[in-house]
Structure 1
Amino acid sequence: MSEPIQQFVAGELPVEVYASEREMGAAAAARAAAVIRDAVAANGHARVVIATGNSQFAFVEALKDQDVPWGDVTAFHMDEYVGIDEDHTASFRRWIGERIEQPFAPAKVEYIIGDAPDAQQEADRYEALLREKPLDLVCMGIGENGHLAFNEPYDADFEDERWARVITLTPESVQQQIGEGHFPDEASTPKTAISLTIPALLSASHVQVCAPEARKAEAVARALSDEVSTACPATKLRESPNARLFLEPASASLIAARA
């Protein structure tokens, strides 16, 4: 069991820093597995939202070493580009299919259909699925501009009545997608996506956030020190008693500078 090299609380948010990204992922996976087992023991089933993207690689890889009752889990994802089909290399449906459904075989995986004929109707459909029963666990990251899912700075709504909506990516998020290798250039990067809202993400009984890599350090530092506002949506985590933030030395490197 990995032990943090540093831990503290920012507002209501416990923060744990691990010696490496691998150890961070292992700790997050162990916690997620325990939450899922407890939910299944209590309710016979668990409903889990899992983020996609490079920041989740260590966590998802470490899940392979955990005892998880996947046959009693319904898995959701938290966003998808509008207009992208499931075979596109950047599709979050494809990411979930290859890294969650195929290796773990959950009882059910509910996908956001990015190339649905009507994106708003698809957001409505997915929101209805999310609201059928409480969410037990949300596993997510933090964007380079401080976004959660695709809830962008200044456009995010902490009191949103919707649980899923069509959003417009900021130029910073477009550049992040290019930088992570999902698209070759700005012209080919979708500018809209269907995203779970912040109230949906934070409604879960447990929320865990994995934010590794130096490119996330500024956003992490802002999340832990800036005023809670939509200027940096991740600041809302400090008011979320069900959340926990997992870091490693590179992503935690600017915390002291902004404290």
Structure 2
Amino acid sequence: MKVIKVLNEKEVGKVAGDLILSAIQSNSSSILGLATGSTPESTYEYLIEDFKKNKTDWSKVKTFNLDEYVGLSPDHKKSYRYFMNDKLFHKINIDIKNTHVPDGLKIENPEDYDKLISKNGGIDLQLLGIGTNGHIGFNEPGTSFDSLTSVVDLTAETIEVNSRFFESALEVPKKAVSMGLTSIMNARKIVLIAIGKNKAEAIKQLINGNISINWPCTILQNHKDVTVIIDEEAASLI
């Protein structure tokens, strides 16, 4: 596991963005796994600026997002599909048909998402954030390390943290469709980013803790190619 400590959120976005751009430059048909939430926003802003300046070609790139809220339609302003369109996809030249986000309204066979990823050749680079309780994707503490894409229950802690994106915690969906831990581990390269002091304990467990389902992020210690990019506050306990 490679750990890169930088000064602030902007630097996290630059370093992560450069790794993504390097993947695309090496393979114009790269398969990327992407994340949502506030943490990757600086990365997406950096990628958009690069597209404006350097015209990096995204036309053959395919993407698969980690998760989506159950019950939200793709055009719902709080859905992760809407987030990705707004924060990245509509601002670069990616073919929207090559972008995949789990459908929060069609949850009968969530494992089909893994089959679709496999059919497309598997993920070359997976971008991850991390929850305060160590979740990656929406794989909460206690999730089996053997899990594939499925419908999961969100913990009260995760609902409370995510309530900042809604009018109140009552509006946050209680379930999500999420890639499983095995789904994530199948990626050939993983880049995990974390910003802020509230992520410091999770980063400590990720890097120095024992591998345990109590901290889902610790499964990444078993992956052969993981880069962790953190700002000074997130790195404060290591």
Q: Structure 1-normalised TM-score?
A: 0.85
- Aligned equivalents of 1:187 and 1:110: distance in 2? 28
Task: For 2:87 and 2:170, locate their aligned partners in 1 and report how far apart those are by CA, in whole Å.
Answer: 28
- For structure 1, which runs of at least 5 residues remain unmatched after alignment? 1-12
Q: For residue 222 of structure 1, what is the aligned residue in structure 2?
A: 205
Name 1:236's counterpart in structure 2: 219
Query: What is aligned with 1:177?
Result: 162
CA distance in 2 between counterparts of 1:234 and 1:94 reads 26
Matched residue SS, 1:166: strand
The equivalent residue for 1:158 is 145
Identity %: 27
Amino acid aligned to 1:101: F
* Cα distance in structure 2, aligned partners of 1:14 and 1:85: 37
**Alpha-carbon deviations, 1:112-151, whole Å to 9, x = none?**
11122xx132x13322211211211111110111001000
SS at match of 1:27: helix
**Cα distance in structure 1, aligned partners of 2:63 and 2:21:** 13
Residues in 2 aligned to 1:24 and 1:187: alpha-carbon distance in whole angstroms: 32
Q: State the shift of 1:215 in Å.
A: 1.6
Q: CA deviation at 1:218?
A: 1.6
How far has the Cα of 1:230 moved from its partner? 0.8
Q: Does the alignment pair 1:135 with 2:123?
A: yes
Question: Counterpart of 1:71 in 2: which secondary structure?
Answer: coil
Q: Does 1:113 align with 2:103?
A: yes
CA contact (8 A) 2:57 2:93 kept: no
Instruction: Please give the alpha-carbon distance, in whole angstroms, between the structure 1 residues aligned to 2:48 and 2:84.
Output: 14
User: Any unmatched runs of 5+ in structure 2?
Assistant: none
Cα offsets for 1:160-210 (capped at 9, x unmatched): 3x3x111111111111111xx222333221111000011111211211011
Question: For 1:173 and 1:135, how far apart are their aligned partners in 2?
Answer: 26
Please tell me the residue identity of whatever aligns with 1:128.
K
Q: CA deviation at 1:64?
A: 2.3
Partner of 1:50: 34
Q: Is the 8 A contact 1:35 1:206 kept in 2?
A: no
In the alignment of these two chains, the number of paired residues is 231
Residues 186 and 64 of structure 1: CA distance in aligned 2, closer, same or farther (over 3 Å): closer
1:8 is matched with none
Q: Which moved more, 1:127-136 or 1:73-82?
A: 127-136
Secondary structure of the equivalent of 2:127?
strand
**SS of equivalent residue, structure 2 residue 152:** strand
- TM superposition shift of 1:100: 2.2
CA contact (8 A) 1:16 1:245 kept: yes
Structure 1 residue 105: Cα displacement: 2.8
Q: Cα RMSD over matched residues?
A: 1.5
Q: Following TM superposition, by how much is the alpha carbon of 1:252 offset from its aligned partner in structure 2, in angstroms?
A: 0.8
In 2, distance between residues paired with 1:198 and 1:37?
28
Q: Please say if residues 89 and 182 of structure 1, whose CA atoms lie closer than 8 Å, have aligned partners that are also in contact.
A: no
1:200 and 1:230 mapped to 2: Cα distance?
16
Provide the residue aligned with 1:4 in structure 2.
none
Moved over 4 A (4+): none
Aligned to 2:228: 245
**Aligned mates of 1:127, 1:91 — CA distance in 2:** 20
